[in-house]
């Protein structure tokens, strides 16, 4: 059994090495993400104390089911991203390795202050990655807003520390703080703001448009999948295990999440640039996941995060590459682009359909779980909003798919002569890699119970509920 | 026969056909014929195992009489249309995926009709929706495919909401039990949201916008399936919303119109509006396929009214109209497709006199429209007669008036393609065109025969319907040897057939004996020294009903409503973007402050 601390230490060491041995930094990066995956499955479960001081005095790492899923998701997608865009990743080897350490740390740590440090490492790496868009003002915007988040987070921690004398997650949770009291409301809001900024919740995520909208195939894919899911995972842990939300605070956070979902989908609906569509859709999905986390529906939220991360990874990668080739990501200029790229096109379509929540794809299972869990909690309003905006979501994604697949004038049958270019988007190896990733979505959608079991080990997360809906319950007739 | 085998074989063949098509396009097309015929025969043999329950993977199925009936109609439309597939492969941009989606959507419809629980039903339903969306985009309009998807999604999301809401009360997804325990406002909400997908699929006003778009622009080989088959999925949902959801019982305490609870009557009124809208719009169309699409809207209205009546006579009429419309509209669309196969157009003013070139197709179309208009001796007459009887019985004046209006109006529109496409002068361009080959003729002839048989021996179909009626606990329609008996009278379809056959024979003899009329070219006309070059303007059918159309050419376009909603959503998106997103940090800082102040006030800190 391997000590989880290596998940943080190895990438950090490799990151330092990559500065020294700049010539092989590409290989250091590759081996870093590979080792990360390799040791993931041999990690020691449970609590690991670092430095010999027992928590709450020392720092501890927690590897439970929940952090395991987060680590696996982030690690695998980072690996895929690096492999798919190694040429671009090369330049950012050190940054990506540091980011890996930060992400693993965020997911593993059991201490709020420790979390702050890892979050800073991760976010700073994100600032640097965002410069790949070559629009300094957007990176600066992100930097300023992100720093505000950090300061808020720190300020919130200070208050909590002064009130409780601890920042250990388990210790804080054990104090059963009543979140309704005004004294706690302000620090809680400060901490929430920090997460909301990173999780792109409206109205905090103003930086996203510039950063996501100018991402390339590497950074876009990583931002929307690895970074986004990590932040949401941590969000889920902090607002369930550490601070049990209730009352007005919970209502406000849920409301912010739901509004983010609705507004984000509406904003995506009017876009014609693919990266903009994807970024607003990411905002929407993120809002929904946050709302579910805030309601304590951890399992559906995790499903949603996973399905969104994988889909967005594929879609951002393809979009980024399209943008590289055709110098545009306006889908009206890319009509029929999938005609000569069928494998890539199928991968893109599967991802989009999974995001919409169409059956046979994993997103459907996630959606059903979310709806069932919400209805079980006596909530019909949020499902109504989800389904209403699922129509909008379906509308813009299907419109996009139709345009990318079937070119042709209105009134004439779809014809390949109207298709733009015959350039291959990805070479055959990369097409297959993307295609296989999309097959994972399809396979997980076809055997969702198995996927659900794999994710939650049937027991749910952090003592919460497991699947609210399983396909096997249909057979039982229940 | 086993449903597992049918589903497995069709899905496997769907995948196989995708790869075969890559090797040989025609072979892939023929594979869809084989697969759909196999499914049809398999389903036919499935009748013996009605009542059986089983599950495949996590899907659970129950073979019911009504499911069998619907599935058979559906697969009939699929299998007959599939005969055209091999001949259209070269025109498809993605022949492989067309064949794949064709069979996949067929498997989806089969699975959906036999679903035992709502999740199974929904999974299959949505699979049909997205796979057919990708077929429609291959046709003449991308927008059509988009409209089709959005309207379908409105329906299916509403239905999913209803399913989930019912589940939260009853704790089960099993169709027969899921709606137990609903009452009051929740019952009304579930009823209306549940049936929404049905309304959207049948094309009931105001959801009818997708039919002209999709039917009119889909590949010629898919329009017959859409009109003859897929809209019937909606009828199945309508059926479930008065049977599985015991609407008449749950709403029995409510305000009633002519003995029918208001929510149900409201939907029937929507059906009546669809009849009127469909008829009026069909009269207006220049494109034969769009015309038939609007006629599907009108016929969907009849079906909805019939099924919602859930009584002895009207219900039987509605259920029977399913078959009649499926058969007739599939045949009509196939006939138009056959003409388009030869001429390359579906615009009526660009065709004419095809009767001389394609006589068989002409007869197919003729029989189909006679049935659609509800004229004896075709099947459509019997089912419409039953629906009229049901309406008259209950004294539903408004609905009956609409139904009659639709019937009369249908004379006006179905006659138009007949005269425009088939009668009149043949275009010089088309003089060398031949009748389609036997392989394409075969399905058209089979459908024609079915149309006539349904009109001559309606009791064969009605007997199945009586079993359905018995299974949902209403008294079955009374059938004698070859007559249908209702309170107001009886119908002996065979005798009607004899009378009409006699009349037809006399007319035919006169036609043969009489001197042939002189044939003139279309441009052979007196134009008082003006030269007319656009021959379409001289065409018999151009501006056919102009004076009548002028009566309602200011009628509002329903599509505008959807466009407005789309604009509103876009505006919300615009607002979101301009309020919260920019490239300067001030905006976000501002919002952080505002939210902070808001939270502090709400929390009562200050």
Closest residue of chain A to B144, computed from CA coordinates: A410
Chain B residues with CB under 8 Å of A249 CB are 603
Range 151-210 of A in CB contact (< 8 A) with B: 152, 182-183, 185-186, 189, 193, 197, 202-210
Range 16-45 of A in CB contact (< 8 A) with B: none
Give chain A's mean pLDDT: 89
Closest residue of chain B to A473, computed from CA coordinates: B58
- The answer on pLDDT for A293 being more than 50 is yes
| Residue that is written with structure tokens 């989800």 in the block | A386
Q: Report yes or no: B28 and B96 within 8 Å, Cβ to Cβ.
A: yes
pLDDT band at A199 (very low <50, low <70, confident <90, very high): very high
The pair of structure tokens assigned to A5 is 């601390």
Identify the three-state secondary structure at position B543. coil
Q: What is the pLDDT of residues A255-290, one digit of tens each?
A: 999 999 999 999 999 999 999 999 999 999 999 999
Q: Beta strands of B410-557 (E only): which ranges?
A: 478-479, 483-486, 489-492
Flag whether residue A247 sits within 8 Å of chain B, measured between CB atoms: no
Q: Do A413 and B91 touch (CB under 8 A)?
A: yes
Q: What is the pLDDT of residues B255-312, one digit of tens each?
A: 888 788 889 999 999 999 999 999 999 888 888 888 889 999 999 999 999 999 888 8
- The answer on pLDDT for A344 being more than 80 is yes
φ, ψ dihedrals at B426, nearest 5°:
-80, 140
User: Looking at the partner chain, which of B138, B174, B579 has a beta carbon nearest the beta carbon of A477?
Assistant: B174
- The answer on pLDDT for A335 being more than 50 is yes
Sorted by sequence, the CB contacts under 8 Å of residue A124 that are 6+ apart come out as none
| Residue that is written with structure tokens 């009369």 in the block | B408
Query: What span, in angstroms and rounded, lies between the C-alpha atoms of A448 and B439?
Result: 43
- In this prediction, residues A112-116 reach a mean pLDDT of 92
Predicted confidence at residue B341, as pLDDT, reads 87
User: Looking at the partner chain, which of A205, A402, A472 has a beta carbon nearest the beta carbon of B58?
Assistant: A472
Chain A residues with CB under 8 Å of B573 CB are 263, 266-271, 280
- In this prediction, residues A437-447 reach a mean pLDDT of 90
Closest residue of chain A to B55, computed from CA coordinates: A475
Q: Do A406 and B168 touch (CB under 8 A)?
A: no
Query: What span, in angstroms and rounded, lies between the C-alpha atoms of A184 and A162?
Result: 11
Of the two residues A409 and B320, the one the predictor is more confident about is B320
Sorted by sequence, the CB contacts under 8 Å of residue B529 that are 6+ apart come out as none
Domains identified in chain A, total number: 1
Query: What span, in angstroms and rounded, lies between the C-alpha atoms of B170 and B177?
Result: 7
The pair of structure tokens assigned to B319 is 């259920």
Closest residue of chain B to A206, computed from CA coordinates: B581
Closest residue of chain B to A403, computed from CA coordinates: B142
Q: Do B583 and A203 touch (CB under 8 A)?
A: no
Predicted confidence at residue B527, as pLDDT, reads 67
Q: Do A206 and B581 touch (CB under 8 A)?
A: yes
Sorted by sequence, the CB contacts under 8 Å of residue A315 that are 6+ apart come out as A278, A348, A351, A352
Q: Report yes or no: B370 and B380 within 8 Å, Cβ to Cβ.
A: yes
> Could you tell me how many CB contacts below 8 A there are between chain A and chain B?
219
Flag whether residue A275 sits within 8 Å of chain B, measured between CB atoms: no
Chain B residues with CB under 8 Å of A206 CB are 580-582, 585, 587-588, 591
Chain B residues with CB under 8 Å of A280 CB are 573
Q: Report yes or no: B225 and B337 within 8 Å, Cβ to Cβ.
A: no
pLDDT along chain B (606 residues), means of 10: 86 92 89 92 87 83 91 92 89 89 93 91 93 90 92 93 90 86 85 92 90 90 90 92 87 83 91 92 86 91 92 90 92 90 79 81 89 85 89 86 88 82 74 80 92 88 89 85 81 87 91 78 69 69 79 84 92 92 87 87 67
- The answer on pLDDT for A465 being more than 80 is no
The pair of structure tokens assigned to B56 is 């495949």
Q: What is the pLDDT of residues A74-110, one digit of tens each?
A: 999 999 999 999 988 888 999 999 999 999 999 999 8
Q: Parse chain B into domains and list their residue ranges.
A: 1-114, 115-504, 562-603
Residue B387: name the closest of B323, B458, B314 by CA.
B314
Query: What span, in angstroms and rounded, lies between the C-alpha atoms of B374 and B455?
Result: 10
State pTM to two decimals: 0.94
Predicted confidence at residue B1, as pLDDT, reads 62
Task: Give the closest-approach CA distance of B573 to chain A in angstroms.
Answer: 3
- In this prediction, residues A5-32 reach a mean pLDDT of 91
| Residue that is written with structure tokens 């099924």 in the block | B307
Query: ipTM, 2 decimals?
Result: 0.94
**Residues written for chain B:** 606
Predicted confidence at residue A478, as pLDDT, reads 41
- The answer on pLDDT for A180 being more than 70 is no
User: A194: domain range?
Assistant: 5-476
Query: What span, in angstroms and rounded, lies between the C-alpha atoms of A376 and A474?
Result: 17
Task: Give the closest-approach CA distance of B73 to chain A in angstroms.
Answer: 24
Chain A residues with CB under 8 Å of B340 CB are none
Q: What is the pLDDT of residues A365-393, one digit of tens each?
A: 999 999 999 998 888 899 999 999 999 99
Q: Which of A146, A147, A206 to mutate to test the interface with B (most CBs of B within 10 A)?
A: A206
């Amino acid at each position: 059994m391997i000590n989880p601390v290596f998940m943080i230490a190895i990438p950090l060491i490799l990151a330092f090495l990559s500065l020294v041995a700049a010539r092989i930094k590409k290989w250091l990066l590759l081996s870093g993400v590979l080792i990360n995956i390799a040791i993931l499955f041999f990690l020691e479960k449970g609590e690991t104390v670092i430095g010999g001081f027992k928590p709450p005095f020392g720092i501890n790492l927690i590897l439970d089911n929940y952090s395991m899923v987060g680590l696996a998701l982030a690690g695998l997608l980072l690996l895929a991203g690096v492999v798919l865009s190694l040429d671009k990743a090369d330049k950012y080897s050190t940054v990506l390795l540091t980011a890996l350490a930060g992400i693993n740390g965020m997911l593993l740590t059991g201490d709020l202050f420790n979390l702050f440090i890892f979050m800073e490492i991760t976010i700073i790496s994100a600032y640097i990655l965002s410069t790949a868009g070559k629009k300094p003002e957007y990176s600066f915007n992100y930097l300023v807003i992100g720093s505000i988040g950090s300061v808020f987070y720190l300020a919130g921690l200070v208050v909590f520390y002064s009130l409780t004398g601890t920042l250990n997650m388990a210790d804080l949770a054990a104090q059963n703080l009543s979140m309704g009291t005004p004294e706690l409301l302000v620090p809680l809001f400060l901490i929430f703001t920090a997460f909301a900024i990173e999780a792109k919740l409206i109205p905090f995520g103003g930086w996203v448009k510039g950063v996501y909208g100018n991402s390339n195939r590497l950074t876009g894919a990583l931002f929307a999948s690895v970074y986004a899911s990590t932040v949401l995972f941590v969000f889920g842990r902090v607002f369930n295990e550490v601070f049990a939300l209730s009352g007005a605070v919970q209502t406000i956070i849920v409301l912010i999440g739901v509004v983010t979902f609705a507004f984000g989908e509406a904003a995506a609906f009017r876009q014609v640039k693919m990266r903009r569509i994807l970024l607003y859709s990411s905002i929407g999905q993120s809002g929904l996941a946050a709302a579910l986390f805030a309601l304590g529906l951890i399992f559906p939220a995790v499903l949603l995060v996973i399905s969104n991360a994988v889909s967005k990874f594929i879609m951002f990668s393809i979009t980024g590459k399209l943008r590289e080739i055709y110098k545009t990501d306006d889908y009206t200029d890319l009509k029929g682009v999938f005609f000569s790229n069928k494998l890539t096109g199928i991968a893109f379509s599967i991802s989009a359909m999974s995001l919409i929540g169409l059956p046979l794809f994993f997103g459907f299972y996630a959606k059903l779980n979310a709806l069932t869990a919400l209805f079980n909690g006596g909530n019909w309003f949020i499902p109504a909003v989800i389904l209403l905006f699922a129509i909008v979501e379906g509308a813009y994604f299907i419109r996009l798919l139709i345009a990318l697949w079937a070119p042709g004038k209105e009134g004439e049958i779809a014809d390949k002569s109207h298709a733009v270019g015959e350039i291959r988007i990805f070479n055959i190896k990369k097409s297959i890699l993307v295609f296989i990733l999309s097959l994972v979505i399809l396979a997980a959608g076809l055997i969702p119970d198995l996927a659900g079991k794999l994710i939650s080990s049937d027991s749910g997360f952090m003592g919460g509920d497991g699947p609210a809906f399983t396909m096997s319950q249909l057979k039982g007739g229940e | 026969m086993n449903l597992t085998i049918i589903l497995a074989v069709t899905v496997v063949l769907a995948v196989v056909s995708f790869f075969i098509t890559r090797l040989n396009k025609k072979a892939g097309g023929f594979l869809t014929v084989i697969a759909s015929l196999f499914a049809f025969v398999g389903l036919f043999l499935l009748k013996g195992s009605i009542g059986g329950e089983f599950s495949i993977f996590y899907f659970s199925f129950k073979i019911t009489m009504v499911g069998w009936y619907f599935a058979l109609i559906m697969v009939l439309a699929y299998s007959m249309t599939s005969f055209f597939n091999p001949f259209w492969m070269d025109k498809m941009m993605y022949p492989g995926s067309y064949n794949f989606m064709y069979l996949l959507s067929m498997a989806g419809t089969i699975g959906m009709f036999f679903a035992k629980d709502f999740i199974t039903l929904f999974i299959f339903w949505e699979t049909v929706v997205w796979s057919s969306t990708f077929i429609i985009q291959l046709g003449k309009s991308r927008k059509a495919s988009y409209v089709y998807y959005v309207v379908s999604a409105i329906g299916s999301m509403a239905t999913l909401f209803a399913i989930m809401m019912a589940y939260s009360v009853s704790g089960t997804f099993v169709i027969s039990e899921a709606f137990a325990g609903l009452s009051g406002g929740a019952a009304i909400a579930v009823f209306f949201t549940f049936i929404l997908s049905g309304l959207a699929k049948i094309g009931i006003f105001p959801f009818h916008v997708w039919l002209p778009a999709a039917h009119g622009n889909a590949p010629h080989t898919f329009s017959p399936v859409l009109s003859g088959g897929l809209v019937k999925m909606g009828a199945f949902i309508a059926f479930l919303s008065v049977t599985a959801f015991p609407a008449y019982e749950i709403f029995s305490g409510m305000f009633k119109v002519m003995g029918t609870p208001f929510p149900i009557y409201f939907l029937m009124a929507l059906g009546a509006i669809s009849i009127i809208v469909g008829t009026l719009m069909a009269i207006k169309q220049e494109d034969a396929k769009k015309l038939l699409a609007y006629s599907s809207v009108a016929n969907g209205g009849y079906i909805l009214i019939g099924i919602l009546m859930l009584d002895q006579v009207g219900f039987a009429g509605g259920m029977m109209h399913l078959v009649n419309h499926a058969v007739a509209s599939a045949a009509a669309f196939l006939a138009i497709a056959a003409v388009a196969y030869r001429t390359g157009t579906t615009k009526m003013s660009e065709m004419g006199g095809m009767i001389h070139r394609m006589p068989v197709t002409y007869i197919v179309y003729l029989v189909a429209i006679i049935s659609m208009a509800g004229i004896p001796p075709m099947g459509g007459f019997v089912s419409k007669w039953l629906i009229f009887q049901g309406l008259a019985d209950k004294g539903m004046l408004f609905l009956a008036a609409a139904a009659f209006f639709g019937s009369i109006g249908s004379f006006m529109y179905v006659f138009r393609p007949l005269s425009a496409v088939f009668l009149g002068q043949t275009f010089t361009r088309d003089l060398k065109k031949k009748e389609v080959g036997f392989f394409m003729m075969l399905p058209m002839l089979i459908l024609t025969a079915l149309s006539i048989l349904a009109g001559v021996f309606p009791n064969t179909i009605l007997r199945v319907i009586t079993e359905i009626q018995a299974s949902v606990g209403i008294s079955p329609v009374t059938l004698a040897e070859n007559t249908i008996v209702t309170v107001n009278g009886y119908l002996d379809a065979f005798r009607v057939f004899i009378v009409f056959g006699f009349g037809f024979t006399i007319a035919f003899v006169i036609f043969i004996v009489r001197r042939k009329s002189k044939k003139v070219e279309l441009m052979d006309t007196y134009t008082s020294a003006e030269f007319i070059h656009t021959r379409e303007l001289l065409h018999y059918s151009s501006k056919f009903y102009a004076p009548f159309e002028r009566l309602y050419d200011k009628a509002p376009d329903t599509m505008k409503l959807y466009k407005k909603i789309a604009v509103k959503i876009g505006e919300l998106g615009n607002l979101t973007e301009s309020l919260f997103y920019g490239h300067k940090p001030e905006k976000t800082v501002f919002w952080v402050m505002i939210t902070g102040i808001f939270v502090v006030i709400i929390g009562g800190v200050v």
